[in-house]
């Protein structure tokens, strides 16, 4: 396929790929059959939606897409034991992971229990002192004081810790890749157990928890009792689904779409407070869940108090929510500063090692465990290769990895652990964590690189930039963006449309913050458009456009609606650019 507009290497080093002729043909046929706008049909065709499915796709009904909870193994006994604890007023503990998915999962259970007139103990392990997942001391102590422990977003690989919970029943609600054997828990509900079909492998942990509550509601109705309104809790499921980068297809898309509607009512104090400190002056979109709310909730688990995010999401007190949101906002600022230092050091090391291997990795003394995952994500985005970043302390290193599409990092990390090259490790396809002995890092990373190469890692250069077509500034209206957004929400597994504004002149360009660029551009005919390029100065894009010297550029990115002062305007989230003509 020829490069779109002849761009073989853009300012960010990417080849531009336009829509294929087959997508164009399907979009045109859909537009004629449905009378839907052509740009919307182009997006639907690219997402694989047929013309006769278009109307149903644009209005996804959760009741039609929600899987039967009982299709997951151990679901019925898990819900039954949970309800037994509620009926008998037993002592319940919730052991949750420290990220957004774990916090939202815990908040779902705490909210549900509160509405049933019952409380529970929340336990979130400290990332540095305890690490990921259940540990023997914590589980032993919780078991001594509780009848039921529910592990959310963790536990599937925690054999020793679950065995230490003597005297208490343990229910695991998780989505991380399971091993050949399961821990000795009363129930392990996990769509990524090895004996599951894999049909629901795309669910995050909060979605698994939600399905357990659906099953609990069914069992309550069979007993002629009534449970809480679960639809009001979909804001938490939406948040976790987007923040955990779960693919937005099938029921996940319905979860997020309905959850955003719930969030717009501003009924959950914690999310209201987060939106306020994030200075959102309109209802959140999927983008805000991933890039505004999610990082702030994660900040507590990364460099602050581990349970702060979960407690914020669960609180019903607006004043308490405001105080916690403010603290998380402060921690997020601190996290960015720490991340910046680690990222610079990791990038220098990884670059010296080379970006052409199947795996990009770096390890450094004292690198904060709370930011190594974010830095790994940055390396992955830069190189289009799986990346691992490890912080060293004493005789061990604790690291985090991020993968690219088509390469199962979690399975490879798990195999390394089974081979004895790691002290422990696990995760899922796109993200994983590990602990490794300092003197075995080189050996472990070499083996991991070998395993990832077998899956095709490292065979591609910088990721191609896939584009949906050309637009003129005058055509980028609020109405057009709203029409296109009806095919959303967009995110992992369902990328939003990306357009090119060809041969544009830049009338205004200004650096904002540390690394962002704001600009205004036009074609001299149909009007002008504002654009924002986040992180532009982390690479060559920012300097090239800021110092344009009157040159014209092809500009590529995604459209969104900017809300300011009660007005709505269209803004381009600029992702890439290329000179429109040779100097």
CA distance 480 to 537: 30
Q: How confident is the model at residue 567 (pLDDT cuts 50, 70, 90)?
A: confident
- Residue 439 is classified by DSSP as G
Q: How confident is the model at residue 145 (pLDDT cuts 50, 70, 90)?
A: very high
Mean pLDDT calculated for residue range 353-363: 93
Residue range 178-205, pLDDT digits in tens:
989 999 999 999 999 999 999 999 999 9
Mean pLDDT calculated for residue range 252-264: 97
**First-to-last CA distance in the chain?**
27
- pLDDT at 39 > cutoff 70: yes
Mean pLDDT calculated for residue range 11-29: 92
Q: How confident is the model at residue 459 (pLDDT cuts 50, 70, 90)?
A: confident
Distances (CA, A) of 477 to 90, 221, 329: 57, 48, 33
Residue range 420-437, pLDDT digits in tens:
999 999 888 889 999 999
- pLDDT at 524 > cutoff 60: yes
Residue range 354-454 forms a domain whose CATH class is: alpha beta
Cβ atoms 403, 431 nearer than 8 A: yes
Residue range 291-342, pLDDT digits in tens:
999 999 999 988 888 999 999 999 999 999 999 999 999 999 999 999 999 9
CA distance 82 to 227: 13
3-state helix, strand, coil in the chain (%, to 5): 45, 20, 35
Cβ atoms 180, 194 nearer than 8 A: yes
CA distance 307 to 318: 18
- pLDDT at 380 > cutoff 70: yes
Q: What is the CATH topology of the domain spanning 70-329?
A: inorganic pyrophosphatase (n-terminal core) (3.90.1640)
- pLDDT at 117 > cutoff 50: yes
Determine the pLDDT at residue 460. Answer: 64
Per DSSP, the residues of 364-415 read: EET--TTTHHHHHHHHHHHHTS-EEEEEEETTEEEEEEE--TT--HHHHHHH
Closest to 27 in 3D by CA, of 465, 468, 464: 468
Determine the pLDDT at residue 381. Answer: 87
Q: What is the CATH topology of the domain spanning 4-18+467-579?
A: OB fold (Dihydrolipoamide Acetyltransferase, E2P) (2.40.50)
Determine the pLDDT at residue 583. Answer: 41
Q: How confident is the model at residue 488 (pLDDT cuts 50, 70, 90)?
A: very high
Structure tokens at 68: 């039967």
Domain ranges of the chain: 4-18+467-579, 21-56, 70-329, 354-454
Mean pLDDT calculated for residue range 166-170: 97
């Amino acid at each position: 396929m020829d490069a779109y507009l002849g761009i073989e290497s853009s300012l960010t080093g990417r080849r531009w790929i336009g829509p294929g002729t087959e997508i164009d043909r399907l979009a045109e046929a859909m537009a004629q059959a449905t009378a839907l706008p052509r740009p919307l049909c182009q997006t639907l065709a690219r997402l694989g939606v047929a013309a006769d499915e278009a109307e149903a796709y644009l209005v996804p009904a959760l009741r039609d897409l929600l899987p039967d909870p009982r299709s997951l193994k151990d679901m019925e006994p898990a819900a039954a034991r949970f309800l037994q604890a509620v009926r008998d007023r037993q002592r319940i503990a919730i052991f949750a992971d420290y990220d957004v998915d774990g916090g939202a999962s815990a908040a779902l259970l705490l909210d549900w229990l509160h509405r049933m007139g019952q409380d529970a103990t929340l336990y979130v392990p400290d990332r540095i002192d305890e690490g990921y997942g259940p540990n023997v001391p914590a589980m032993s102590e919780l078991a001594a004081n509780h009848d039921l422990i529910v592990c959310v977003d963790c536990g599937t690989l925690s054999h020793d810790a679950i065995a230490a919970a003597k005297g208490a029943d343990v229910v695991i609600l998780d989505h991380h890749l399971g091993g050949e054997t399961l821990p000795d828990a009363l129930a392990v509900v996990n769509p990524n157990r090895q004996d599951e079909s894999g049909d629901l492998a795309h669910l995050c942990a909060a979605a698994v928890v939600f399905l357990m509550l659906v099953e609990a509601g069914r069992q309550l109705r069979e007993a002629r009792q009534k449970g809480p309104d679960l639809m009001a809790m979909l804001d938490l499921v939406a948040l976790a689904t987007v923040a955990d980068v779960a693919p937005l297809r099938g029921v996940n898309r319905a979860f997020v779409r309905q959850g955003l509607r719930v969030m717009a009512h501003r009924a959950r104090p914690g999310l209201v407070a987060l939106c306020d400190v994030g200075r959102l002056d309109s209802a959140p979109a999927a983008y805000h869940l991933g890039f505004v709310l999610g990082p702030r909730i994660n900040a507590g688990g990364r460099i602050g108090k581990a349970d702060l995010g979960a407690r914020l999401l669960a609180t019903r007190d607006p004043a308490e929510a405001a105080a916690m949101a403010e603290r998380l906002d402060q921690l997020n600022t601190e996290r960015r500063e720490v991340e910046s230092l680690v990222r610079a050091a990791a990038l220098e090391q990884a670059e010296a090692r080379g970006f052409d291997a199947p795996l990009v990795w770096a390890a450094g003394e004292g690198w904060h465990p709370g930011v190594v995952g974010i830095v790994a994500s940055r390396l992955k985005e830069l190189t289009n290769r799986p990346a691992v970043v490890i912080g060293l302390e004493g005789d061990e290193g604790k690291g985090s990895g991020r993968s690219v599409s088509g390469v199962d990092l979690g399975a490879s990390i798990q195999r390394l652990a089974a081979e004895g090259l790691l002290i422990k490790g696990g995760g899922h396809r796109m993200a994983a964590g590990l602990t490794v002995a300092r003197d075995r890092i080189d050996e472990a990373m070499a083996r991991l690189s070998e395993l990832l190469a077998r899956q095709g890692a490292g065979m591609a250069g910088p990721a191609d930039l896939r584009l949906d077509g050309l637009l003129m500034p005058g055509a980028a209206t609020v109405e057009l963006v709203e029409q296109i957004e009806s095919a959303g929400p967009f995110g992992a597994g369902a990328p939003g449309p990306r357009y090119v504004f060809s041969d544009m002149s830049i009338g205004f360009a200004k650096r904002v913050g540390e690394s962002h660029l704001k600009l205004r551009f036009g074609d001299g005919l149909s009007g002008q458009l504002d654009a924002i390029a986040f992180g532009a100065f982390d690479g060559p894009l920012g300097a090239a456009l800021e110092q344009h010297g009157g040159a014209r550029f092809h500009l590529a990115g995604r459209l969104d609606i900017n809300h300011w002062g009660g007005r709505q305007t269209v803004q381009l989230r600029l992702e890439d650019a290329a000179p429109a003509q040779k100097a």
